């Protein structure tokens, strides 16, 4: 990447910069390769942040099916993490995992579950996992909430082979005019479902798969407590990436934990032939990158203070504008054969493109994904009826209370004196893009176009060819679209 004019002496964030177009020989947006350059080889360079309000099993399998990666939070008990990893590994890689209920489930309970998936329906199955019917908004409209699902379900759904291609599924659904195709095995047991939009996505995206052809998933580990023991259990559970995570990553304890965990990782690799990448952070300086890579990390998480839930900069004065942090840290990582994840500050598709142009191997998104069907929280409604989910920072009072729940009341009370971050924020679901896949569509559309403007066929070329300029706040505002006329 180079600057259009002389690089300024001050620090830059995403709003401060823009990309200039280059001469282009790339034929189409669909001709570009979005494979991540961080060594994880994700077909989609998006990582869901390890925040309790955002990243769970549903999010993990959904984003992995479209090529990205989710990181499960560090404050989940390890036995629950092992179960979540197993469920993601057993999930279908092409068909979607539906929300399932039994015939006696009440309509009220089914309606509460519908919001867990973007397709807005639940599948009724018997005790042999054979599909019996579908309950959606149409079936529940005006129905008593205590009526059971078998009384209102529609059995008008289309069965398809698990080997059916997305195009075949799409064509079949066009002919049958049904909302879903249901894939079953030879015994008639449920494998997954696919909607027309899901069929289109399956033809565009490639899933992020491990060496056994299963969906990938990452897990975060804190640097306090038994980090090594936790890492060993997660490796045995076949986690694909370990993320050593703390707010201040450039510290001696982090370096010691990286060394210890990388030793366990290398022993596991020698035994299984599978080398699991270690991500560590967060940092914002060249020195931090060098120290953590030299300690044994493969990828460094970059970002202190840019997140929507983070109050670190306002409370401590510590942090760095994110574009400058990514640019410097990515260059340092490349010199040592490592990579970085740009973590935080993502509000628009342009920000993802700019982070990748600056050299990020993948881009981590947090709060933006909180307001989706797949995030872990329940859908709530404000006084105007707008749907939202609550999000909170990982150093907030809410998160600290959860992380310290097993300590004594005295220790918990002492920890509560030093909280940072927002404990409750409304993240509204966009009616046009209520699911994480909808946001992935929007983001990748922007990034693909950015790459063609830069004349790049892949992300390595994108970083090499991108030309970035610096703009004033009014220059940034000029680029923002208007939802109504200015007169």
Q: Which residues pair with 133 in a beta bridge?
A: 124
Closest CA to 322 of 365, 371, 287, 293: 365
- Between the two ends of the chain, the Cα-to-Cα distance in Å is 39
Tokens of 450: 């950015």
Tokens (6 digits) for 138: 């149409």
Helix (H) or strand (E) holding 72: strand 69-72
Closest CA to 277 of 356, 340, 364: 340
Nearest-angstrom CA–CA distance, 161 and 258? 46
Q: Are strands 131-136 and 121-125 parallel, antiparallel or unpaired?
A: antiparallel
Q: Is 337 annotated as a binding residue?
A: no
Surface-to-core class of residue 359, CB atoms within 10 Å of its CB (0-12 exposed, 13-18 middle, 19+ buried): buried
The rounded distance, in Å, linking the Cα atoms of 289 and 340 is 9
DSSP structural state of residue 54:
T
Q: Annotation-wise, does 303 bind a ligand? A: yes
Q: Is residue 395 part of an annotated ligand binding site? A: no
Kindly provide the b/e burial profile for residues 70-104, where b requires at least 16 CB atoms within 10 angstroms of the residue's own CB.
bbbbbbbebeebbebbebbbebbbbbbbbbebeee
Residue 31 assigned to a binding site: no
The verdict on whether residue 305 carries a ligand-binding annotation is yes
At 257, list the tokens. Answer: 């934990």
Cα–Cα–Cα angle for 311, 378, 150, rounded to 5 degrees? 170
Torsion of the alpha carbons at 157, 59, 293 and 462, rounded to the nearest 10: 60
DSSP string, 303-353: -SS-STT--HHHHH-----HHHHHHHHHHHHHHTT-EEEEES---SHHHHH
The reply to whether 274 belongs to the active site is: no
Tell me: is residue 424 an annotated ligand-binding position. no
What residue numbers does the annotated binding site cover? 245-247, 303-305
The set of catalytic residues is 310
Annotated binding site for NADP(+): 245-247, 303-305
């Amino acid at each position: 990447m180079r600057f259009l004019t002389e690089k300024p002496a001050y620090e830059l964030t995403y709003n401060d910069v823009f990309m200039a177009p280059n001469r282009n020989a790339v034929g189409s947006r669909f001709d570009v390769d979005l494979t991540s350059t961080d060594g994880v080889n994700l077909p989609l360079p998006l990582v869901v942040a390890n925040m309790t309000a955002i990243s769970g099993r549903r999010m993990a399998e959904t984003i992995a099916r479209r090529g990205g990666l989710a990181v499960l939070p560090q404050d989940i008990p390890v036995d629950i993490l092992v179960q979540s990893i197993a469920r993601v590994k057993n999930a279908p890689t092409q068909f979607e995992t539906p929300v399932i209920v039994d015939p006696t489930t009440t309509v009220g309970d089914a309606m509460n579950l519908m919001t867990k998936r973007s397709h807005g329906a639940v599948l009724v199955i018997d005790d042999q996992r054979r599909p019996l019917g579908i309950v959606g908004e149409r079936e529940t409209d005006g129905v008593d909430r205590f009526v059971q699902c078998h009384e209102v379900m529609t059995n008008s759904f289309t069965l398809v082979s698990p080997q059916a291609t997305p195009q075949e599924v799409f064509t079949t659904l066009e002919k049958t005019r049904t909302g879903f195709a249901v894939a079953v095995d030879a015994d008639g047991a449920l494998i997954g479902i696919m909607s027309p939009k899901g069929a289109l996505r399956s033809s565009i995206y490639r899933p992020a798969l491990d060496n056994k052809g299963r969906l990938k998933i990452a897990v975060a580990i804190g640097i306090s407590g038994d980090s090594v023991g936790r890492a060993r259990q997660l490796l045995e559970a076949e986690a694909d990436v370990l993320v050593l995570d703390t707010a201040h990553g450039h510290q001696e304890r982090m370096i010691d934990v990286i060394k210890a965990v990388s030793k366990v990782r290398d022993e596991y690799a020698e035994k299984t032939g599978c080398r699991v990448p270690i991500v560590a952070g967060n940092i914002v300086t060249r020195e931090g990158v060098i120290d953590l890579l030299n300690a044994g990390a493969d990828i460094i998480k970059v970002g202190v203070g840019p997140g929507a839930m983070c109050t670190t900069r306002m409370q401590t004065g510590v942090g760095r504008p994110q574009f400058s942090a990514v640019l410097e840290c990515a260059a340092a990582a490349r010199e040592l054969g490592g990579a970085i994840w740009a973590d935080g500050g993502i509000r628009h598709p342009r920000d993802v493109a700019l982070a990748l142009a600056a050299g990020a191997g993948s881009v981590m998104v947090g709060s933006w994904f909180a307001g989706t069907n797949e995030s872990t929280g329940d859908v709530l409604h404000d006084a105007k009826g707008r749907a939202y989910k609550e999000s909170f920072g990982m150093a907030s009072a809410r998160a600290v209370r959860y992380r310290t729940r097993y300590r004594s009341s005295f220790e918990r009370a002492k920890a509560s004196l030093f909280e940072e971050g927002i404990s409750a924020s409304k993240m509204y679901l966009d009616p046009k893009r209520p699911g994480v896949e909808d946001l992935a569509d929007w983001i990748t559309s922007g990034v693909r176009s950015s790459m063609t403007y830069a004349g790049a066929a892949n992300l390595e070329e994108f970083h090499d060819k991108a030309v970035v300029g610096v703009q004033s706040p009014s220059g940034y505002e000029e680029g923002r679209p208007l939802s109504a006329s200015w007169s």
